[in-house]
Amino acid sequence: MSRPWLLLLVFLVAHPAAAQDGPRPVEVDVELLLMVDVSRSMTIEEHRIQREGYAAALTSEQVLGSIGEGMIGRIALSYVEWAGAGGERVVVDWTEIASPGDATAFAEALLLSDPYAVSRTSISSALRFGADHFDNNGFQGLRRVIDISGDGPNNSGGPVLDARQATLNRGIIINGLPIMAFNDGYDRWSVDDLDAYYAACVTGGAGSFVIAVQDWPDFAEAIRRKLVLEIAGTLPAPQVIPAQAERYDCLIGEKIWERNRPAWGTLP
Protein backbone atom coordinates (compact mmCIF):
# COMPACT_ATOMS: atom_id res chain seq x y z
CA MET A 1 0.00 0.00 0.00
CA SER A 2 1.37 3.41 -0.98
CA ARG A 3 2.13 5.94 1.74
CA PRO A 4 -0.75 8.39 0.81
CA TRP A 5 -3.32 5.60 1.02
CA LEU A 6 -1.85 4.39 4.30
CA LEU A 7 -2.08 7.90 5.77
CA LEU A 8 -5.69 8.18 4.61
CA LEU A 9 -6.56 4.85 6.21
CA VAL A 10 -4.96 5.88 9.51
CA PHE A 11 -6.93 9.17 9.42
CA LEU A 12 -10.25 7.44 8.80
CA VAL A 13 -9.66 4.95 11.60
CA ALA A 14 -8.86 7.80 13.99
CA HIS A 15 -11.77 9.95 12.71
CA PRO A 16 -14.60 7.56 11.72
CA ALA A 17 -17.09 10.41 11.22
CA ALA A 18 -15.01 11.62 8.29
CA ALA A 19 -15.76 8.36 6.48
CA GLN A 20 -19.49 9.03 6.54
CA ASP A 21 -21.27 10.56 3.58
CA GLY A 22 -22.12 14.26 3.80
CA PRO A 23 -21.36 16.85 6.45
CA ARG A 24 -21.85 16.12 10.13
CA PRO A 25 -25.10 17.44 11.64
CA VAL A 26 -24.83 20.74 13.51
CA GLU A 27 -25.22 20.20 17.24
CA VAL A 28 -27.95 22.32 18.88
CA ASP A 29 -29.69 22.47 22.23
CA VAL A 30 -33.09 21.70 20.70
CA GLU A 31 -34.64 21.04 17.31
CA LEU A 32 -37.91 22.97 17.67
CA LEU A 33 -40.70 22.60 15.12
CA LEU A 34 -43.48 25.19 15.31
CA MET A 35 -46.70 23.76 13.84
CA VAL A 36 -49.39 26.43 13.53
CA ASP A 37 -53.09 25.93 12.77
CA VAL A 38 -54.43 27.86 9.74
CA SER A 39 -57.86 26.25 9.51
CA ARG A 40 -60.89 28.20 8.30
CA SER A 41 -62.18 28.57 11.84
CA MET A 42 -59.72 31.44 12.19
CA THR A 43 -59.95 34.74 10.36
CA ILE A 44 -57.22 36.13 8.11
CA GLU A 45 -56.53 38.70 10.83
CA GLU A 46 -56.02 35.93 13.38
CA HIS A 47 -53.67 34.13 11.00
CA ARG A 48 -51.68 37.36 10.77
CA ILE A 49 -51.65 37.71 14.57
CA GLN A 50 -50.14 34.24 14.81
CA ARG A 51 -47.33 34.98 12.33
CA GLU A 52 -46.54 38.33 13.92
CA GLY A 53 -46.71 36.86 17.42
CA TYR A 54 -44.12 34.22 16.61
CA ALA A 55 -41.89 36.76 14.86
CA ALA A 56 -42.03 39.13 17.84
CA ALA A 57 -41.42 36.36 20.38
CA LEU A 58 -38.46 34.94 18.50
CA THR A 59 -36.66 38.29 18.42
CA SER A 60 -37.48 39.19 22.04
CA GLU A 61 -34.73 39.60 24.63
CA GLN A 62 -36.20 36.79 26.72
CA VAL A 63 -36.10 34.21 23.92
CA LEU A 64 -32.67 35.30 22.67
CA GLY A 65 -31.39 35.14 26.23
CA SER A 66 -32.74 31.62 26.65
CA ILE A 67 -30.98 30.52 23.45
CA GLY A 68 -27.68 32.04 24.58
CA GLU A 69 -27.86 30.36 27.98
CA GLY A 70 -28.18 26.86 26.52
CA MET A 71 -25.41 24.27 26.82
CA ILE A 72 -24.54 24.75 23.16
CA GLY A 73 -25.95 28.23 22.65
CA ARG A 74 -27.92 27.63 19.47
CA ILE A 75 -31.15 25.97 18.35
CA ALA A 76 -32.66 24.69 15.10
CA LEU A 77 -36.08 26.08 14.20
CA SER A 78 -38.70 25.46 11.52
CA TYR A 79 -42.22 26.86 11.02
CA VAL A 80 -44.99 24.79 9.42
CA GLU A 81 -48.67 25.65 8.92
CA TRP A 82 -51.31 22.93 8.98
CA ALA A 83 -55.07 22.35 8.91
CA GLY A 84 -56.83 19.43 7.18
CA ALA A 85 -55.12 16.13 6.37
CA GLY A 86 -52.30 16.64 3.88
CA GLY A 87 -52.58 20.44 4.05
CA GLU A 88 -49.24 21.06 5.75
CA ARG A 89 -46.96 23.73 4.33
CA VAL A 90 -43.37 24.54 5.31
CA VAL A 91 -43.22 28.32 5.66
CA VAL A 92 -39.62 28.50 6.94
CA ASP A 93 -37.43 25.40 6.76
CA TRP A 94 -34.86 24.32 9.33
CA THR A 95 -32.63 27.22 10.30
CA GLU A 96 -29.86 27.65 12.88
CA ILE A 97 -30.64 30.37 15.42
CA ALA A 98 -27.55 31.43 17.38
CA SER A 99 -27.66 35.23 17.29
CA PRO A 100 -30.08 38.16 17.12
CA GLY A 101 -29.30 38.38 13.41
CA ASP A 102 -30.34 34.77 12.86
CA ALA A 103 -33.59 35.36 14.74
CA THR A 104 -34.35 38.53 12.79
CA ALA A 105 -33.74 36.80 9.46
CA PHE A 106 -36.09 33.96 10.46
CA ALA A 107 -38.76 36.43 11.59
CA GLU A 108 -38.48 38.38 8.33
CA ALA A 109 -38.80 35.18 6.28
CA LEU A 110 -41.87 34.27 8.33
CA LEU A 111 -43.58 37.54 7.39
CA LEU A 112 -42.76 37.44 3.68
CA SER A 113 -45.77 35.38 2.57
CA ASP A 114 -49.42 35.51 3.55
CA PRO A 115 -51.04 32.69 5.54
CA TYR A 116 -53.63 30.60 3.75
CA ALA A 117 -56.76 28.99 5.12
CA VAL A 118 -57.55 25.28 4.72
CA SER A 119 -60.65 23.35 5.78
CA ARG A 120 -60.84 20.80 8.61
CA THR A 121 -58.49 20.05 11.51
CA SER A 122 -56.10 17.11 11.37
CA ILE A 123 -53.76 17.12 14.33
CA SER A 124 -52.92 13.52 13.46
CA SER A 125 -51.73 14.43 9.96
CA ALA A 126 -49.78 17.38 11.37
CA LEU A 127 -47.97 15.15 13.87
CA ARG A 128 -47.07 12.59 11.21
CA PHE A 129 -45.78 15.33 8.92
CA GLY A 130 -43.92 16.96 11.78
CA ALA A 131 -42.19 13.75 12.88
CA ASP A 132 -40.95 13.13 9.32
CA HIS A 133 -39.85 16.76 9.00
CA PHE A 134 -37.01 16.13 11.48
CA ASP A 135 -35.44 13.50 9.22
CA ASN A 136 -32.15 14.56 7.61
CA ASN A 137 -32.60 18.19 8.65
CA GLY A 138 -28.87 18.74 9.17
CA PHE A 139 -29.10 19.16 12.95
CA GLN A 140 -28.53 17.01 16.01
CA GLY A 141 -30.37 18.31 19.06
CA LEU A 142 -30.27 17.30 22.68
CA ARG A 143 -34.07 17.31 22.35
CA ARG A 144 -36.58 17.25 19.52
CA VAL A 145 -39.81 19.14 20.19
CA ILE A 146 -43.01 19.71 18.22
CA ASP A 147 -44.88 22.81 19.40
CA ILE A 148 -48.38 22.45 17.97
CA SER A 149 -51.11 25.08 18.25
CA GLY A 150 -54.75 24.84 17.25
CA ASP A 151 -58.30 25.95 18.04
CA GLY A 152 -60.13 22.64 17.88
CA PRO A 153 -59.88 18.87 18.30
CA ASN A 154 -58.81 16.48 15.58
CA ASN A 155 -61.63 15.77 13.10
CA SER A 156 -59.91 14.18 10.09
CA GLY A 157 -56.85 12.21 9.04
CA GLY A 158 -57.12 9.29 11.46
CA PRO A 159 -57.14 9.00 15.26
CA VAL A 160 -54.90 11.48 17.03
CA LEU A 161 -53.78 8.96 19.66
CA ASP A 162 -52.18 6.73 17.01
CA ALA A 163 -50.26 9.65 15.52
CA ARG A 164 -49.20 10.87 18.94
CA GLN A 165 -47.86 7.47 19.97
CA ALA A 166 -45.95 7.07 16.70
CA THR A 167 -44.37 10.49 17.26
CA LEU A 168 -43.44 9.71 20.86
CA ASN A 169 -41.93 6.39 19.75
CA ARG A 170 -39.43 8.41 17.71
CA GLY A 171 -38.26 10.26 20.81
CA ILE A 172 -40.02 13.52 19.94
CA ILE A 173 -41.65 15.64 22.65
CA ILE A 174 -45.04 17.21 21.86
CA ASN A 175 -46.10 20.47 23.54
CA GLY A 176 -49.48 22.12 22.98
CA LEU A 177 -50.85 25.62 22.58
CA PRO A 178 -54.66 25.28 22.48
CA ILE A 179 -56.32 28.49 21.30
CA MET A 180 -59.63 28.90 23.13
CA ALA A 181 -60.78 32.17 21.54
CA PHE A 182 -63.51 30.81 19.28
CA ASN A 183 -65.20 32.64 16.41
CA ASP A 184 -68.98 32.83 16.03
CA GLY A 185 -70.23 30.00 13.87
CA TYR A 186 -67.17 27.82 14.43
CA ASP A 187 -67.38 27.28 18.19
CA ARG A 188 -69.69 24.32 17.53
CA TRP A 189 -66.68 22.49 16.04
CA SER A 190 -64.53 22.74 19.16
CA VAL A 191 -64.81 21.85 22.85
CA ASP A 192 -64.98 24.11 25.87
CA ASP A 193 -62.10 22.31 27.58
CA LEU A 194 -59.68 22.27 24.65
CA ASP A 195 -56.76 22.58 27.07
CA ALA A 196 -57.83 19.31 28.72
CA TYR A 197 -58.18 17.69 25.28
CA TYR A 198 -54.65 18.72 24.35
CA ALA A 199 -53.30 17.45 27.67
CA ALA A 200 -55.06 14.08 27.35
CA CYS A 201 -54.90 13.43 23.61
CA VAL A 202 -52.17 15.49 21.93
CA THR A 203 -49.15 16.29 24.09
CA GLY A 204 -46.64 13.83 25.49
CA GLY A 205 -43.01 13.01 26.18
CA ALA A 206 -40.60 13.95 28.95
CA GLY A 207 -41.36 17.43 30.26
CA SER A 208 -44.25 18.07 27.85
CA PHE A 209 -46.76 20.76 28.74
CA VAL A 210 -49.80 22.77 27.62
CA ILE A 211 -50.19 26.55 27.68
CA ALA A 212 -53.68 27.74 26.69
CA VAL A 213 -54.53 31.03 24.96
CA GLN A 214 -57.87 32.34 26.23
CA ASP A 215 -58.03 35.46 24.04
CA TRP A 216 -56.14 36.78 21.02
CA PRO A 217 -54.56 39.75 22.84
CA ASP A 218 -52.80 37.15 25.03
CA PHE A 219 -51.31 35.27 22.07
CA ALA A 220 -47.94 37.02 21.68
CA GLU A 221 -47.14 36.76 25.39
CA ALA A 222 -48.12 33.08 25.49
CA ILE A 223 -45.83 32.36 22.54
CA ARG A 224 -42.90 34.21 24.11
CA ARG A 225 -43.34 32.33 27.38
CA LYS A 226 -43.71 29.00 25.63
CA LEU A 227 -40.59 29.45 23.49
CA VAL A 228 -38.50 30.37 26.53
CA LEU A 229 -39.65 27.22 28.33
CA GLU A 230 -39.11 24.96 25.31
CA ILE A 231 -35.65 26.29 24.59
CA ALA A 232 -34.59 26.05 28.23
CA GLY A 233 -36.20 22.63 28.66
CA THR A 234 -38.01 23.68 31.82
CA LEU A 235 -41.61 23.24 32.92
CA PRO A 236 -44.13 26.06 33.42
CA ALA A 237 -45.80 26.70 36.74
CA PRO A 238 -48.40 23.99 37.40
CA GLN A 239 -51.68 24.64 35.59
CA VAL A 240 -54.90 23.35 37.08
CA ILE A 241 -56.96 21.49 34.48
CA PRO A 242 -60.19 20.08 35.95
CA ALA A 243 -60.06 16.32 36.31
CA GLN A 244 -62.28 14.39 33.93
CA ALA A 245 -64.98 12.22 35.46
CA GLU A 246 -64.01 9.56 32.94
CA ARG A 247 -61.11 9.08 30.55
CA TYR A 248 -61.17 11.81 27.89
CA ASP A 249 -62.82 10.83 24.60
CA CYS A 250 -60.06 11.57 22.10
CA LEU A 251 -62.46 10.93 19.20
CA ILE A 252 -64.68 13.83 20.29
CA GLY A 253 -63.63 15.93 17.29
CA GLU A 254 -64.64 13.27 14.79
CA LYS A 255 -67.99 12.85 16.56
CA ILE A 256 -68.61 16.62 16.51
CA TRP A 257 -67.82 16.66 12.79
CA GLU A 258 -70.34 13.93 12.02
CA ARG A 259 -72.99 15.66 14.11
CA ASN A 260 -72.50 19.07 12.49
CA ARG A 261 -71.61 18.01 8.96
CA PRO A 262 -74.95 19.24 7.46
CA ALA A 263 -74.10 22.78 8.63
CA TRP A 264 -70.63 22.78 7.04
CA GLY A 265 -71.74 24.26 3.73
CA THR A 266 -73.42 27.23 5.44
CA LEU A 267 -70.19 28.54 7.00
CA PRO A 268 -68.24 31.41 5.41
Write out pLDDT tens, residues 235-263: 676 554 544 445 899 999 888 888 877 66
pTM given for the model: 0.86
What CA–CA distance (Å, rounded) separates 12 from 2? 16
Domains and CATH numbers, the chain: 24-266 (3.40.50.410)
**Is residue 199 over pLDDT 90?**
yes
Specify which of 82-86, 116-120, 160-164, 251-255 reaches the highest per-range mean pLDDT. Answer: 160-164
Mean predicted confidence (pLDDT) in 178-188: 68
Across all residues in the chain, what is the average pLDDT?
85
* Model confidence at 24: pLDDT above 50: yes
How far apart, in whole angstroms, are the C-alpha atoms of residue 232 and residue 212? Answer: 19
Rounded to whole angstroms, how far apart are CA atoms 5 and 24? 23
- Of 139-153, 175-189, 198-212, where does mean pLDDT reach its minimum? 175-189
Average pLDDT over residues 21-44: 88
Q: Which of 18-27, 58-67, 73-82, 140-149 has the lowest mean pLDDT?
A: 18-27
| Alpha-carbon span 205 to 171, nearest angstrom | 8
